[in-house]
């Protein structure tokens, strides 16, 4: 009986539930579009950008985030965004991803020439083009390969400033009499209303609402109204939480934002990070929170490489809390976060996992299937069940052929 290996990982159907569009461009495309749009880059070769911007290891989170200054600068037109989304889907398909939820902050890309709504439409158009091409292949029609499905997740930002996009600049100017937290809340509610409208009137596959950005000092509670709105309109919710802040951030994501999934959740077990003085027994708080997440099947989107690059307290994959998450039966899926910035793929992330965390075959299969079961699938519940069954059948067939 063979162990799980790179070839098997490459062949199995995979899902990517946490991938940022603006962190996942092809380097060649970034260079080409920068030259076309007149965006200055530190280098104009892929090697040069890998050395100066998109590194294997970063000294700090700000250094990690620096690359987004360049990627977002070339994402100010529908044409560019559609191309980037199409290429992302192509790259994912090439490594065996058959379900993807691509997330981005539409307001971050809006400009005088691009509305927030048009930025969403552009992402959908690019993904649909790749989907149509793949699903027309003879292998898919003959059921020798799985079809490709996708959804779009709209990200609100926990905080922003006037320099991040023309949309944010105009909003801050129009609401100058309001506090920063109130302005952040207005922006997220506007986005929530827009994406619900796009789903309702145009049937766009916007399947989820997210909250991204710096956690410390920018609580999810600023965005309660936006989350209430999407919740009442049957949209699924995920929240970046527990990435750079403690268990309280995860608790707030679940209780204030009705989160169906948690983005990262890395500090779930770090009781020492709890700051609320009302919490007397921090260990019991963490135990109750972890048990609740497990029992309610609230998915946790784990991004190993990204965490190692941005969280210096995590020295290796072997010491990553994903091991404890799996042990406690949480619904864990493995994702890329940013394919360009972290120089990774879903296959690479899964290889890191199996090389550093002792897993049984059943545990590994559960992680793969969790990526599909936990999806904010754009079709009906029964459609998703049929697709998950196709995934399981395909997975089991590959086990018999390559591992048994």
Could you please report the per-residue DSSP string of 357-383? Answer: S---HHHHHHHHHHHHHT---SS-HHH
According to the model, what pLDDT value does residue 1 have? 56
Catalytically annotated residue among 215, 243, 301, 349: 243
Using CA of residue 312, residue 314, residue 317, residue 322, what is the dihedral sign? negative
User: With contact defined as beta carbons under 8 Å apart, do 360 and 369 qualify?
Assistant: no
Q: Decide if 243 is catalytic.
A: yes
pLDDT tens, 286-308? 999 999 999 999 999 999 999 99
For 129, the domain range is 6-402
Q: Within 10 Å of residue 277's Cβ, how many Cβ atoms?
A: 6
According to the model, what pLDDT value does residue 60 have? 74
Q: What is the mean pLDDT of the chain?
A: 95
Q: Kindly state whether residue 373 falls inside one of the protein's structural domains.
A: yes
According to the model, what pLDDT value does residue 176 have? 94
According to the model, what pLDDT value does residue 63 have? 84
Q: How many domains does the chain have?
A: 1
User: Residue 64 pLDDT more than 90?
Assistant: no
Q: Kindly state whether residue 149 falls inside one of the protein's structural domains.
A: yes
Q: Kindly state whether residue 1 falls inside one of the protein's structural domains.
A: no
**Which CATH number does the domain housing residue 33 bear?**
3.20.20.140
User: Residue 340 pLDDT more than 70?
Assistant: yes
Q: Kindly state whether residue 203 falls inside one of the protein's structural domains.
A: yes
Burial (CB < 10 A; 0-12, 13-18, 19+), residue 57, is: exposed
According to the model, what pLDDT value does residue 52 have? 93
pTM of the model: 0.96
In DSSP terms, which residues pair with 104 in a beta bridge? Answer: 154
């Amino acid at each position: 009986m063979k162990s799980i290996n790179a070839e098997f990982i490459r062949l199995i159907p995979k899902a990517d539930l946490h991938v940022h569009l603006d962190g996942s461009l092809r380097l060649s495309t970034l260079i080409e579009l920068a030259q076309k749009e007149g965006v200055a880059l530190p280098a104009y070769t892929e090697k040069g950008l890998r050395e100066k911007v998109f590194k294997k290891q970063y000294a700090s989170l700000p250094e990690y985030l620096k690359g987004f200054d360049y990627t977002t600068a070339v994402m100010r037109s529908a044409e560019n965004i559609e191309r980037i989304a199409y290429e992302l889907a192509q790259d994912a398909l090439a490594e065996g991803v058959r379900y993807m939820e691509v997330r981005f902050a539409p307001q971050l890309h809006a400009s005088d020439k691009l509305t927030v709504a048009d930025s969403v439409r552009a992402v959908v158009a690019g993904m649909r083009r790749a989907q149509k091409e793949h699903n027309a292949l003879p292998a898919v029609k003959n059921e020798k390969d799985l079809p490709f499905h996708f959804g779009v997740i709209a990200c609100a930002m926990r905080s922003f400033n006037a320099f991040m996009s023309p949309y944010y600049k105009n909003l801050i100017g129009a609401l100058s009499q309001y506090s920063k937290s109130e302005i952040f809340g207005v922006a997220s509610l506007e986005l929530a209303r827009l994406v619900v409208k796009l789903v309702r009137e145009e049937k766009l596959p916007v399947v989820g609402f997210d909250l991204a950005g710096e956690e410390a000092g920018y609580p999810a509670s600023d965005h309660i109204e936006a989350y209430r709105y999407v919740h009442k309109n049957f949209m699924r919710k995920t929240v970046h939480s527990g990435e750079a802040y403690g268990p309280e951030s995860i608790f707030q994501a679940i209780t204030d934002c009705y989160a169906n999934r948690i983005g990262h959740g890395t500090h779930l077990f770090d009781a020492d990070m709890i700051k609320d003085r009302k919490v007397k027994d921090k260990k019991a708080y963490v135990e109750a929170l972890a048990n609740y997440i497990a029992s309610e099947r609230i998915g946790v989107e784990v991004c190993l490489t990204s965490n190692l690059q941005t969280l210096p307290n995590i020295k290796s994959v072997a010491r990553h809390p994903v091991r404890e998450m799996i042990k406690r039966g949480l619904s864990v899926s493995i994702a890329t976060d940013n394919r360009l910035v972290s120089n990774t793929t879903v296959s690479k992330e899964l290889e890191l996992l199996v090389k550093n965390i002792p897993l049984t075959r059943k545990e590994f299969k559960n992680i793969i299937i969790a990526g599909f079961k936990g999806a904010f699938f754009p079709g009906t519940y029964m459609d998703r069940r049929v697709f998950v069954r196709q995934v399981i059948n395909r997975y089991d067939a590959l086990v018999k052929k390559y591992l048994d």
